[in-house]
Structure 1
Amino acid sequence: MTQIKICGLKNSSAIETAVIAGADYLGFVFAESPRRVRPEKVRELTKNLPEEIKKVGVFVSPTREEVEEIIETAGLDLIQIHGKTELTELSRPIIRAFSIKDQDSFYFYQYPHLLLDAPPAKLMGGNGETFDWHLVDQRHLPKEKLWLAGGLNSENVGEAIRFFQPQVVDVSSGVETAGEKDLAKIQAFCQAVKIADEQQRK
């Protein structure tokens, strides 16, 4: 079963919709972004979240101190890091994001989770851009810890699952309209993932 992460959440209606639709991970952005949210608000929004739904904090080139403080304040379960970092270990598991511009050496990084994303525009992540999937040499790709992002939506996520067989698909702008989370698009994305998984099993 492909797991689902809905990222860039800021309000209770989007969170509730994501949970009911079948999301496994909820992403909260703490880097410069229109989707940025305060750690205190995340704790408040997720205080009644089912235990099996995990909260992911998204950072760009953070310091250890910054991350650990927000982990405690927001109550995070995993940490997603974009940009430059020397952090390889924190009090929560790291999802290391790699922007795919060309063949990269991400295969050899010893992180528990690897996220493949499109090259950044002005801001990291959530740009709605896909990357050339054929640039990734899948012969050495650790599928058991692969997370996939980069312009995913309900129309292309099925193809992405068939191409990569990732553990997790990660969406932000693909479930938005005019920069805000669209509840119908969240539902459609989660349904498309389920359909793709069913087709894979046939």
Structure 2
Amino acid sequence: MKVKICGLSDVRTLCDVAVLKPDHIGFVFAPSRRQITPLEGERLIRQLQASVADIPHTVGVFAKVDRDGLQQVLDHVPLQAVQLHHVEDTDIYQWIKERWDVQIWSTISITEPRAAQKDQISYTRNEQAERQLSTLDRCSNYVDLLLLDTHDPVHGGGSGITFAWDVIPAYAKVAHQMHLPLYAAGGLDPNNVGSLLSQYSIQGVDVSSGVESNGIKDITKVASFIERVRSYDKLN
């Protein structure tokens, strides 16, 4: 089971988190209180590379981004993956792959709070969800991973709210058909991640606000979250 710790924005916390060996670390370039600039992203990763021998896989988070915005980051920040929320330019997937050696994580925003019926993606009745799945159909050759996240009306993701996990099996089928790993985010924390993993078949989890105290990354919570996931791995 893979773990991503997202929303890192200072060197000390970044190094402390890296020592705990999550599989991925995330940097937010989308509008958010955790947003960093391309210059800050480059500095953070370069300093981490100088301090830690084996750094986690680096992921940049983008929402409603255009090509200029992506290029400003990817030309300078040594990222290994881009996590995209609310992409309207469906050709941008191919454009990224032709220019940079990065994975593309495509985010599916879960927009309704109610649970779906078993084995049925009822969220596709929502126009936005239909558009997201249609985009995936057209761009599947360029996507490396699917991420389920709770929809935030302003920024797309990063809401800190849990979505109805009942939809996971249906989206897991979509991911399986596309031969892609499926991760889940949205409102996860050390107290509920074990419940998620015990009920649903996914390949990774993504957390940000759930390992914070007063809006700041709490290393004790980060360690607890990672340990809960690793403990699940040991039992399976």
TM-score by length of 1: 0.89
Report the counterpart of residue 170 of structure 1 in structure 2: 206
What residue identity is the alignment partner of 1:54?
H
Residues 152, 164 of structure 1: CA spacing in aligned structure 2 closer, same or farther, 3 A cutoff? same
> Could you tell me whether the CA contact under 8 Å between 2:64 and 2:87 is conserved in 1?
yes
Distance 1:148 1:64 in 2: 26
Measured after TM superposition, the shift of residue 3 of structure 1 is 1.1
What SS is found at the alignment partner of 2:76? Answer: helix
Report the counterpart of residue 61 of structure 1 in structure 2: 64
> Could you tell me whether the CA contact under 8 Å between 1:117 and 1:148 is conserved in 2?
yes
What residue identity is the alignment partner of 2:201?
Q
What residue identity is the alignment partner of 2:13?
A
* Worse overlay, 16-25 or 43-52: 43-52
What SS is found at the alignment partner of 2:22? Answer: coil
* Worse overlay, 183-192 or 65-74: 65-74
Report the counterpart of residue 43 of structure 1 in structure 2: 42
Measured after TM superposition, the shift of residue 77 of structure 1 is 1.0
> Could you tell me whether the CA contact under 8 Å between 1:27 and 1:57 is conserved in 2?
yes
Report the counterpart of residue 28 of structure 1 in structure 2: 27
Query: How many residues matched?
Result: 199
Q: Indicate which of 72, 75, 92 corresponds to 2:75.
A: 72
Report the counterpart of residue 142 of structure 1 in structure 2: 175
Distance 1:69 1:145 in 2: 28
Distance 2:214 2:76 in 1: 30
Structure 1, gaps ≥5 residues long: none
Distance 2:34 2:149 in 1: 17
Q: Indicate which of 86, 107, 121 corresponds to 1:97.
A: 107
Residues 139, 98 of structure 1: CA spacing in aligned structure 2 closer, same or farther, 3 A cutoff? closer
Q: Indicate which of 93, 99, 102 corresponds to 1:88.
A: 93
What SS is found at the alignment partner of 1:122? Answer: coil
* Worse overlay, 178-187 or 39-48: 39-48
What residue identity is the alignment partner of 1:184?
T
1:31-85 CA distance string (max 9 Å, x none) = 1110001222222222243455211111111112321220121111100011133
> Could you tell me whether the CA contact under 8 Å between 2:105 and 2:145 is conserved in 1?
yes
1:16 lines up with 2:52 in the alignment: no
Report the counterpart of residue 186 of structure 1 in structure 2: 222
Residues 198, 98 of structure 1: CA spacing in aligned structure 2 closer, same or farther, 3 A cutoff? same
TM-score by length of 2: 0.77
Measured after TM superposition, the shift of residue 163 of structure 1 is 2.8
Residues 63, 178 of structure 1: CA spacing in aligned structure 2 closer, same or farther, 3 A cutoff? same
Distance 1:34 1:52 in 2: 24
What SS is found at the alignment partner of 1:196? Answer: helix
Measured after TM superposition, the shift of residue 138 of structure 1 is 4.8
What residue identity is the alignment partner of 1:64?
R
> Which structure dedicates a bigger proportion of its chain to helix?
2
Distance 2:153 2:17 in 1: 26
